[in-house]
Structures are given as C-alpha cells and as structure tokens.
C-alpha cells in the first residue's frame, strides 16, 4: 500500500503545479481584498527598487561627471526618501501577505481536520499515521510558504525583471539586447533546478 501511494505521488508530482495553484486560489478567494492590497504595495515596492538606481544614474551623469556637487545633496535626499519609502511599503506588503496566507492555511487545516474526523477507524489502519500527520501539518505549512514566499516572491521578481528590461531598453536598447541574450539560459537553468528540487523534497519527505 505504501509503495502504491508513493508511486501515485510520483506521478502526480510531474504535472501538479498548475493544479495545485488552482486549488490554493480557492482558499485565497475569500481574502481577495487583502490580496489586492498586497499586490498594490508589491508594485510600489518594485517601483521603489527601480527608482533608486535611476537616481544614482542621474546623480552620476548630471552632477558627478560634470563636477557639480551642488545638486548631490538633493539627489542624496531623494535616494534616502526612496529607500525609506521602500522599507515602509515592504513591511506593509509582507505583513499583509503573511496575514492572508495564515488565514487561508487555517481554513485549509480546519477542512483537513474535519475530513479526518469523518473517517472510520479502518481508514487509519489503511494509511500510515506519519503520512497523515505530514499531510496535515508539514504539507499545509509548505503550501503557506509556497504562497507567501514562492508566489508573491515570483510576482515581485517578474515585475522587477520586466521593469529593469523596460528601463534598459529605454536607456540603451543595444546594450539591453546583449544583456537579455542570456535570459534563455537562465530560464532553462531555473526549470532544471525546480525539477531537481521537487524530486529531492519528495524523497526527503
């Protein structure tokens, strides 16, 4: 029985990501307002991360390269303001995301617990207790990390990458194309790492 369950998980793990995310969204749907707030602050955080290097670029090109130090004070204050704004936005976004994830995972845990309480004693004889505890505790916590760290982090990273690419194309499209030529290699490496990480996690579990 345990070998069959393990084989079943091996099969499901090959194409489970999209289905898993669809099921997670069902538990996040009641908290869509909090998700919207978190997304807005995530975009503000992305903007602050892109604005900081641009202020540095303006300070170098317009003042340092021209040996004009009078405008550096203003640039330094602007950079400090952007950094402080980014910290505040990041705190609000992180708090909102973690709060939403904990609420959604609480609902999921209660649903799993209710399902287990409805089973007869034969069900617990057929399934290993350790596997049930893993699915109830560890797997739910993994889903929470997937949402709060994986999904939100992915959205933030993707928005930063597109923002950097857009700014690079705006500043110098030739140099930008040279830099973006490495993107397919990075994409292939990330997909390879994701596949290996999923296999290692399944084996360790």
What tokens were used for 79? 């950079």
- 2-171: CATH number: 1.20.1560.10
Residues of the chain with pLDDT under 50: 1-16
pLDDT reported for residue 105:
83
Per domain, the residue ranges of the chain are 2-171
pLDDT reported for residue 204:
67
What tokens were used for 145? 């990390």
- Residue 18 CB-density burial (10 A; 0-12 exposed, 13-18 middle, 19+ buried): exposed
pLDDT reported for residue 20:
67
pTM listed for this prediction: 0.69
C-alpha angle with apex 57: 56 to 60, nearest 5 degrees? Answer: 85
Distance CA 102, CA 92 (A): 15
pLDDT reported for residue 136:
76
């Amino acid at each position: 029985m345990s070998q069959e369950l393990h084989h079943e998980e091996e099969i499901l793990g090959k194409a489970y990501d999209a289905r898993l995310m669809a099921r997670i969204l069902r538990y996040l749907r009641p908290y869509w307002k909090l998700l919207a707030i978190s997304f807005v602050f995530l975009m503000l955080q992305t903007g602050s991360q892109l604005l900081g290097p641009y202020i540095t670029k303006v300070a170098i090109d317009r003042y340092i390269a021209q040996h004009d130090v009078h405008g550096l004070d203003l640039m330094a204050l602007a950079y400090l303001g952007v950094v402080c704004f980014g910290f505040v936005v990041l705190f609000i976004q992180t708090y909102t995301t973690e709060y939403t994830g904990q609420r959604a995972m609480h609902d999921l845990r209660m649903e799993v617990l209710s399902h287990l309480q409805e089973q007869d004693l034969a069900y617990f004889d057929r399934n290993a207790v350790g596997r049930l505890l893993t699915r109830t505790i560890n797997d739910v916590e993994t889903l929470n990390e997937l949402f709060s760290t994986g999904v939100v982090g992915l959205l933030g990273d993707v928005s930063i990458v597109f923002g950097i690419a857009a700014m690079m194309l705006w500043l110098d499209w030739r140099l930008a194309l040279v830099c973006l030529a490495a993107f397919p290699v990075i994409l292939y490496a990330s997909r390879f790492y994701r596949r290996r990480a999923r296999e290692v996690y399944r084996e360790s579990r």
